Chains A and B, each alone.
Chain A
Amino acid sequence: MKLGFSKAEEDFRAECADWLTGQMAGEFSDIKGIATLTAKAERRKEWEQQLAAHKWSCIGWPTEWGGRGASLAEQVIFAEEYARAGVPGRVNHIGIELAGPTILTFGTDEQKKRFLPDIAAGKTIFCQGFSEPNAGSDLASVRTKARLEGGKWVVNGQKIWTSLAHISDWIFVIARSEEGTKGPKGLTFLMMPIDQPGIEIRGIKQINGDAEFNETFFTDATCAEDSLIGAPGEGWRIAMGLLAFERGVSTLGQQMGFRNELDEIIAAAKANGSANDPLIRQRIAKAEIGLHLMRYGALRMLSNTDHSKVDGAALTYKIQWASWRRSLGELGMDVLGQAGEVTDNPDYDWGTLPNLFLYSRSDTIYGGTNQIQRNLIAERALGMPREPRGDT
């Protein structure tokens, strides 16, 4: 174990911080601190391109595909400085963190050449078409169908919760390509261009007033025959490989965002006097402890590069941070009191902490609910018998 950062890493941190704070103070000051994923979408696409122009868009990727081949420590540093500088979330995070690594790992050389440079350059925004109305927690029961016809894949069905589909260029989907199959068998992983008549997108309004995700309808939508990743019928394996990338270094950057949120709560508690309330003080201290628990937990998880066996500790990460953040939202609300429940803004558009309270309701649901996470921990990490399941 070696904690702390080297001189070279500290220099790298200073370089990241300089550039990011400079951008947020200068050309991109208009997007600083935006809390939602949808506001000012066009400017944020320009921000993706600005990152790319300065080789910051995907530093963990290999240099030949537009990355810097950055070490884990460097990626952690960049993610932390990114959040610390108040830079809004990446509208192409699915492209950078999920689609790109999936293509790198499972794609052909042709596919790498075709997609990776444009993702790295911020010119191709990706979204994810996994969930369906009847395939949420039970993801393997997808019904969207794909068939090969006249040298093209033809896709019919519906996806839901497709975050940012309305500003994306491409969508990757898992679809059932083998008639009569059930569950994880017979699925194929396809990449499809969104701008075509067979794809229709409808926004879904959320409880916080934002509309980040969508329903996506496929009616004889098509993509080229070579748009699949892996072989036909291998979609589930590819999808599971992709989801493993989700627990990447971005989790540490996410924690810096949490740090900012907790700091805002502490500042509000000092400002309005609720910091004098012993109960509030205890909850703030508990939140601080939880944040540090997560940091060390994530460092351990990311330092484990042996992917040959199930990392039981890694399986505990999602439920831990999601539950922590939902409690943080409740703490913020209790600190603000009535000031958090009213605004003189006539739109249903809230400041950081009220929005945190509303938004964090989704943290314990997306990417596997807390209930699913507990099943994963019990069944995969602890080796307990599988919960009886019906015929899906």
Chain B
Amino acid sequence: MEFLLSDDQLTLAEGVKDYLAGTHGPEVLRRLDEGSNRDPTIWQGLVEMGLPALLVPEDQDGLGLKLLDAALIAAECGRSCLAEPLVDTAFVAVPWLTAKGDIADLAPIVSGEKIVPLAHKINGWVADGDGASLQSVDPLRNLTVAPADATDDPHLLNLGALMSAAQLVGIADAMLEQAVEYAKVRKQFGQPIGAFQAVKHHLATATVALEFAKPVVWRAAQAMDDGIDSAPVHVSHAKLAAGDAALQMAETAIQVHGAMGYTYEVDLHFWMKRSWALIGAWGNRAFHMKRVDGGVIGGSLDIGPAHTFA
């Protein structure tokens, strides 16, 4: 057994992280918020990095990588609070279409000409669709009314939930970083507030939840790559762990920022609201809890010593 990410996987994720850190800082979020939330030049940059092709099979001119690779990139998209629909199109739609043998759209996805709005019955909306628009709590999210003919394909749901979970751990990382930086520079009572145990323990507790959520997400991605029967339960576990960690981190990061954290001018709220939106997307907490419950109590998951660590 080896529960490690490979150097290739880490290098690729690091590259995307660096690219987004350099091109997609908080000032971009503020600019998008004042406009229409989307910018073709940002999308073009992602296309030039080859990201839409990541999961497209090699015989369709893609890179043929795995969901685990994509989940690491999705976390980076979360970290930068990326608003462009890269995760939905490249990491959810592509593997879903490919699994269905629906390969006609893959070429225009690779070239960046096509994005794929996803209409699933679990969601009450479509992100980046072309119906009547709705206001999301996430100011950078473009939602539209769901069509009547949305699918209820469980594979699509699992892909959507997995990639939401992956984004959520990146979002939580970003909020942690902002809170730690703030705690180092903000002074009260003559010293950085991060020196106070009341503040550092708060951040430490949220960090524990986050670090324990990450391997759960990677495990779920691997389970889907391997196509094992229990993959849906792993995905639900990942969605719960990542969502809970992100919500706790949002709460902590705002608290550490004090009243500034409650303002619109401190960028933290973009990540907090993205957390909220993704926690509700692709099955809410109750839905995924029920799936874990169904696995454990309902018998769909093999439990007991012989299976727990299998």
Contacts and interface: CB of A to CB of B under 8 A. Distances in A.
Interface string A359-377: 0011011100111001100
Contact of A207 (B132, B198, B264): B264
B258 A341 contact: no
Interface string A319-354: 000000010001001100111111111111010001
Contacts of B247: 330
Interface string B187-215: 11111010010110010000000000000
For chain A, which range describes its interface: under 10, 10 to 19, 20 to 34, or 35 or more residues? Answer: 35 or more
Contacts of A280: 286
Interface in B255-305: 255, 258-259, 261-265, 269, 272-273, 276-277, 280-281, 284-286, 289
Given A136-B258, A205-B264, A279-B289, A338 B123 contact: yes
Contacts of A207: 262-264, 269, 272-273
Contact of A392 (B189, B202, B251, B276): B189
Contact of A342 (B135, B261, B273): B135
Given A137-B258, A338-B124, A333 B251 contact: no
Interface string A136-168: 111001000000000000000000110000000
Given A204-B265, A339-B124, A391-B190, A371 B198 contact: yes
Contacts of B265: 204-205
Contacts of A205: 263-265
B134 interface: yes
B137 A350 contact: yes
Given A204-B265, A369-B255, A387-B196, A338 B189 contact: no
Given A338-B125, A338-B284, A344 B135 contact: yes
Contact of A361 (B133, B199, B262, B281): B262
B139 A348 contact: yes
A307 interface: no
A344 B136 CA distance: 9
A343 B134 contact: yes
Contacts of B133: 346
B143 interface: yes
A369 B258 contact: yes
B289 to A, nearest CB: 6
Interface in B97-128: 123-125
A326 B251 contact: yes
A338 B278 CA distance: 10
B190 A341 contact: no
A207 B262 CA distance: 6
A334 B262 contact: no
B60 to A, nearest CB: 33
A170 to B, nearest CB: 22
B191 A390 contact: yes
A205 B264 CA distance: 5
Contact of A334 (B134, B139, B264, B284): B284
B223 interface: no
Nearest to A390: B190
Contact of A371 (B199, B259, B277): B199
A342 B134 CA distance: 6
Given A205-B265, A206-B263, A348-B135, A365 B258 contact: yes
Given A136-B259, A204-B263, A207-B262, A337 B280 contact: yes
A110 interface: no
Closest A-B pairs by Cβ, 7 of them: A390-B190, A371-B198, A138-B188, A205-B264, A390-B191, A207-B269, A389-B189
Interface of B: 123-125, 132-139, 143, 187-191, 193, 196, 198-199, 202, 247, 251, 254-255, 258-259, 261-265, 269, 272-273, 276-277, 280-281, 284-286, 289
Given A334-B284, A344-B135, A348-B135, 11 more contacts: A137-B189, A138-B188, A206-B262, A209-B264, A333-B276, A337-B284, A342-B134, A342-B143, A361-B261, A371-B255, A374-B198
30 contacts: A134-B187, A136-B259, A137-B188, A161-B259, A204-B264, A205-B263, A206-B262, A274-B286, A330-B247, A334-B284, A338-B124, A338-B280, A341-B138, A341-B280, A342-B134, A342-B135, A344-B134, A345-B135, A350-B137, A354-B137, A357-B276, A361-B251, A361-B254, A361-B262, A366-B259, A389-B191, A390-B189, A390-B190, A391-B190, A392-B190
